[in-house]
Structure 1
Amino acid sequence: MSQSSPVIASACSVGTVGTVVSRMRALAAVLPERDGVAVFNRVYLTVTEEIDRRLGTGEFPDPRAAAALDVRFAERYLTAVEAAEADRRPPACWRPLFQLRRHPGVRPLQFALAGINAHIGHDLALAVVDACHAIGCEPADLEDEFDHVGEILTALEERVREDLMPGPDLLQLADPLTHLLGAWSLERARDAAWAAARALWSLRHCPDVAGEFGERLDAAVGFAGRMLLTPLAR
């Protein structure tokens, strides 16, 4: 199993939703506005702040389970950022974003979608497994929380497209960005993440097989991310 793509997060990295929000705000304060990681970080910070707000108002069926899932989910991303900043190799799913974060031919919407692809396609499945280990439950016990977070993410994707999509006078049918947007779906990525989480949980007593599964998932999501970040002529 690759060190850059662990199936189970280290127990020492556990924090709170407020902690991960603070860490993302700190990143937002230092990253250049047009940096690709900064674009995704702004998007994800909005999601995490909304989840934190809803936890505070009691909107989640099981707040403890929802917080466990959200924290472990966020820490997957933050650990990847820390790895890149320390010149270590982040998981394969994140490498395209870190490698192309300053490319002038990549548009902000592409950076946002590439980050969402990495985080949903790879990190979410592993975060479900992490949370199950942490609170002693099965993936089925987290399904309501998974779906509730998914609803927030879907609303976010719509907002991202509205905020970062070029205007209709710029985004023509022939624009390559139109085709990239049509090739990726958050709903399909969520469904795949849930299936992967259940598979990884079933393989928890077979660490070698689970590790190989996680590495293959990581590589496949990274490949999709590289396609999303194809530099486009303006």
Structure 2
Amino acid sequence: MTTQAPSGTTVDDIVAQLRQLVSGLPPQDGVAVFADAYLTVTEAIRDHLAEGGFFRAPGEVTRLDVLFADRFLTALDAPRPPACWRPLLELRLHPGIMPIQFALSGMNAHIEHDLPMAVVDACEALGCVPDELSVDFHRVNDVLAQVEEQVRDTLMPATEDIRAAEPLVHLMSSWSIDRARDAAWASAVGLWELRDRPTPYAAATDALADATGLVSRCLLTPLDRLRG
């Protein structure tokens, strides 16, 4: 197993790449919707790193954050993206899908699949084990929770028809960022134990990508009747 080479070396590099990505896409593009939300998260992480004291090991967090972001950025240009990203990339311009759905589908793909893979990458690069990243990994939860709430408040469509909004509320309530990160940590620990066994490692990562993609596709169920 080889560690993926990051496209940027600092969190500022990632912020710059995400800004360029968002500015180069039409706002209704589902990739732009997710990338804009992800940019908010990355800027918040960068600010906490700059302040000092929030993370136990800022250098390790930087390495993890860069490797994490690179998996999303690489998937955008891949001839065959991982299964977890295909729903968003295939449906990014579907007119019946709400912006909040694009954001949650991207978060699901990135957290449930890319994050555990990035933890393994970071541990390989840093010469440590997942437990050594655990404290800072879970500190990120506080940042993500704040940003996710902002994203939901900003992107939730206004509608006075409760019955029309019910399908979207159901989809939104079926996915939790806290549960996603808990699952990501469990996946990271499991993958780390398989890292020196290529065949089961490949089987586990393929299964993770497929399962994550299934949830992402469900989150992108078209809800045309919510459009006004």
Instruction: Report the Cα offset of residue 171 of structure 1.
Output: 4.8
Structure 2 partner of 1:100 = 91
Question: What is the rounded CA distance, in whole Å, between the counterparts of 1:91 and 1:8 in structure 2?
Answer: 17
| Residues 171, 71 of structure 1: alpha-carbon distance in 2 compared, 3 angstrom cutoff | farther
Structure 1 partner of 2:107 = 116
Letter matched to residue 221 of structure 1 = T
How big is each residue's C-alpha offset from its partner over 1:149-202, in whole Å with a ceiling of 9 and x where there is no partner?
A: 122111111111110112362454762111111211111111110000000001
Structure 2 partner of 1:71 = 66
Letter matched to residue 82 of structure 1 = D
Sequence identity, in percent?
Answer: 51
Question: What is the rounded CA distance, in whole Å, between the counterparts of 1:171 and 1:132 in structure 2?
Answer: 47
| 1:50 pairs with 2:48 | no
Letter matched to residue 64 of structure 2 = L
Is the CA contact 2:8–2:14 (under 8 Å) kept in the aligned structure 1? no
What is the 5 A alignment of 1:1-234? 8-11=2-5, 13=7, 15-58=9-52, 59-83=54-78, 88-167=79-158, 169-172=160-163, 175-234=166-225
**TM-score under structure 1 length normalisation:** 0.91
Which range is displaced more, 120-129 or 8-17?
Answer: 8-17
Question: What is the rounded CA distance, in whole Å, between the counterparts of 1:140 and 1:40 in structure 2?
Answer: 29
Is the CA contact 1:8–1:129 (under 8 Å) kept in the aligned structure 2? no
Instruction: Report the Cα offset of residue 233 of structure 1.
Output: 2.4
RMSD: 1.5
Structure 2 unaligned residues grouped into runs of 5+: none
Question: What is the rounded CA distance, in whole Å, between the counterparts of 1:174 and 1:164 in structure 2?
Answer: 13
Work out the number of aligned pairs and report it.
224
Question: What is the rounded CA distance, in whole Å, between the counterparts of 2:155 and 2:6 in structure 1?
Answer: 36
Structure 1 unaligned residues grouped into runs of 5+: 1-6
Instruction: Report the Cα offset of residue 8 of structure 1.
Output: 4.9
Look up the SS of the partner of 2:100 in the other structure: helix
Question: What is the rounded CA distance, in whole Å, between the counterparts of 1:55 and 1:100 in structure 2?
Answer: 35
Letter matched to residue 179 of structure 2 = R
Look up the SS of the partner of 2:42 in the other structure: helix
Look up the SS of the partner of 1:166 in the other structure: coil
| Residues 96, 8 of structure 1: alpha-carbon distance in 2 compared, 3 angstrom cutoff | farther
